[in-house]
Structure 1
Amino acid sequence: MYVQPYVFFNGRCEEALKYYTEKLGAEVLLLMRYKDAPPNPDPQNQPRPGLEEKIMHATIKLGSTNWMASDGHCDPQATFSGFSLSLTADDVESGEKYFNALADGGSVTMPWQATFWSKGFGMVVDRFGLAWMVTIPDA
């Protein structure tokens, strides 16, 4: 068994995937748009008009982890609370690079720094509203 995050970006999924690909080296393994889905036979459960080009489902590989994302129903604003994604980098240099990439356009909640448990740790909410904790293993 394993647990995978599934993140709903409410209309900004394509932008987020492009950003994580460019800045963190993520790889999009699968991408399906709403227009790619077969017709739903339930007339009460049809996609909202205008979602055709939005992302219905994506699988993303980041390091050795696969996670999933979607535009969801494209509600006005994505809200994420009660959790953070934890990104463990290989070394201080790459950890600081990832932290700064996530902080670009976002907000730092704990600056990148050495702590008593790690040579590098920081917390940030990225430009999409997703909270991250970036750390390196203490070796």
Structure 2
Amino acid sequence: MATVNSYLNFNGNTEEAFNFYKSVFGGEFITVQRFKDTPACDGMMADEQEKIMHIALPIGGNVLMGTDVTAPMPLATYGTGISLSVDAETEEEAQKLFNGLSEGGTVTMPLDKMFWGALFGMLTDKFGIQWMVNHDYKTK
């Protein structure tokens, strides 16, 4: 089966966002490429050459990836159409991830036990990305 990974666009703060995600999830970046390190930077302004062309952070069996949008790409806009969903293995991990991701952000649904047998909460992080954190309780 194919793997679906998430790719996020940021308006110049990809490095800050991904250092934040790394502090929450742990791990190490498997790729960090700046525009200046690629043939794509010809004709780019010097400050844009320092921006992130591609970054990748493995999380579980998937990879969270991102880039800084530069001209002539349109600015990234965030809305309610997509959320990243994280399934934690334990209640403690769910709490840690939810608290970490919500730091500086907005909790839209506090992490709580739900009628469908899960610990679940929703938030928008300080970079405007929507997250759902879930831990399914094992049924006997």
TM-score band by shorter chain is 0.7 to 0.9
> 1:15: Cα distance to partner?
0.5
1:60 correspondence with 2:57? yes
Q: Distance in 2 between matches of 1:64 and 1:58?
A: 16
What pairs with 1:28-47 in structure 2 (closer than 5 Å)? 28-38=29-39, 46-47=43-44
Change (3 A) 1:40 1:97: closer
Could you tell me whether the CA contact under 8 Å between 2:14 and 2:67 is conserved in 1? yes
% identical equivalent positions: 39
User: How many residue pairs align between the two structures?
Assistant: 135
Q: Which residue of 1 aligns with 2:12?
A: 11
Q: Distance in 2 between matches of 1:4 and 1:26?
A: 16
Q: Which residue of 1 aligns with 2:133?
A: 134
Q: Distance in 2 between matches of 1:100 and 1:39?
A: 38
Change (3 A) 1:115 1:39: closer
Instruction: Give the TM-score of the pair, scaled to structure 2.
Output: 0.86
Q: Which has the higher strand share?
A: 2
RMSD: 2.2
Change (3 A) 1:63 1:101: same
Q: Distance in 1 between matches of 2:78 and 2:40?
A: 30
> 1:2: Cα distance to partner?
2.5
Q: Which has the higher helix share?
A: 2
Of 70, 76, 80, the residue aligned with 2:78 is 80
Structure 2: which amino acid aligns with 1:111? P
SS in 2 for 1:112: strand
